[in-house]
Amino acid sequence: MSVDLPTAIDVGSTALIVGILVLGIYRALEIRNGFVSGIYRSRASWSALLMMVVIVTNLTNLVPIPSTGILGVVGALPFVALLCVIFAYADRSVLVAIETDFFHRNTLGWPRMRWPLAITFVIFVTALVVLGSILTPAEQSSLLGTIYNDLFFVFFAGILGYLTAALIVGARRSADRTLRRSILLLGLALATLVISIVATIPFAPGTIAYVIINQGTGVVGIFLIYRSVMSLSPLGRVEKGVVGDSRVPQAGPPHRTTSPSQGAMQ
C-alpha cells in the first residue's frame, strides 16, 4: 500500500498546527482575564480571533469544496476572513507600537498608507472571489487566470512585507518591553507567511516542494504567533495578582513607620 507523501505531510502538519492553535486560544483567553489594561486585553482578544480563523481555514482546506459558483464563494470565505484578520491585527499592532513609542514616530509612513492599501486590498480580494465564482476550473488554470492569481499573491506579499517591516521597526521603538516582544514576534510570524507566498509561486499546489515549504513555514509562523501570545503571560499574572491583592484587606492593626533619624533620636 503506497503512501501519498504530500498528503501525509499536509495532514500531519495541519494536525500539529491545530493543536498549537487550540492551546494558544486557551492561553490567550486565560491571559486576557488577568489584564486590566485595555491595550493588553485587546491584544489577547485579537490573538485568539486570529488563531480561531486559522483553525477554520486549515480545516476547510481538508474538505473538498467546488471552486466555482456559490459553493466556491462560500468555500473562499474562511480564507478571505483570514486575510482580513491578518491585515487588521497587524495594522492595529503597528498603531499600538506607535502609541507606546515615547516620541510617537510615524513608523515607515504606515498611518498615511494604511487606508489606501486597505481599499486596494479589499478590491483585489473581491475581484479574486468574484472571478473565482464565475470562471470555470479550466479558465482559472489558464494563463490569464494564473497571472491574476500570482499577481494577487505578490501584491498581498508586498503588503505583508511592508507590515512586517513596520511591526519590527515599531516594536524596537516601543517603550513597553512586553509589547515590544509580542509585536516583534508577530512581525516575524508575518515574515514566514511572506516567505511562503513568494517561495511557493514556482511550484504547483500539491507537489512535494509546495507542501514542504507551505506547511513548514506555516508551523513556524503559528509557533511564533503562539509565542507572541505567551510573551504577555507574565504581565497577565502580575496584573491579576495586583488586582487580587488590592481587594484583600490587610490584617492586623496599622503600625507606625519610624524614620532613621527618629530611631537615632530615640
What pLDDT sits at residue 213?
A: 92
121, with CB counted inside 10 A (0-12, 13-18, 19+), is: middle
What pLDDT sits at residue 68?
A: 61
What pLDDT sits at residue 65?
A: 67
Residues with Cβ within 8 Å of 223's Cβ and at least 6 positions away in sequence, in order, are 20
Residue 11 belongs to a domain: yes
What pLDDT sits at residue 261?
A: 43
Mean pLDDT by runs of 10 across the 266 residues of the chain is 75 90 92 80 89 89 66 76 90 91 90 91 81 71 74 84 93 90 92 89 85 92 92 58 43 44 42
| Nearest one of 204, 199, 229, 236 to 216, comparing CA atoms | 199
What pLDDT sits at residue 50?
A: 92
Task: Provide the number of structural domains found in the chain.
Answer: 1
What pLDDT sits at residue 152?
A: 78
Residue 32 belongs to a domain: yes
What is the pTM (predicted TM-score) of this model? 0.78
Which residue type does 222 have?
Answer: I
Residue 95 belongs to a domain: yes
Domain housing 48: 5-239
What pLDDT sits at residue 64?
A: 67
Residue 107's CATH number: 1.20.1070
Residue 262 belongs to a domain: no
Q: Do 72 and 44 form a contact (C-beta atoms < 8 A)?
A: no
What pLDDT sits at residue 69?
A: 61
Residue 255 belongs to a domain: no
CA–CA gap between residue 214 and residue 205 (Å, rounded)? 9
Residue 260 belongs to a domain: no
Residue 102 belongs to a domain: yes
Long-range contacts of 85-88 (CB under 8 A, 24+ apart): 85/49, 85/50, 85/53, 86/50, 86/160, 86/190, 86/193, 87/118, 87/121, 87/159, 87/163, 88/46
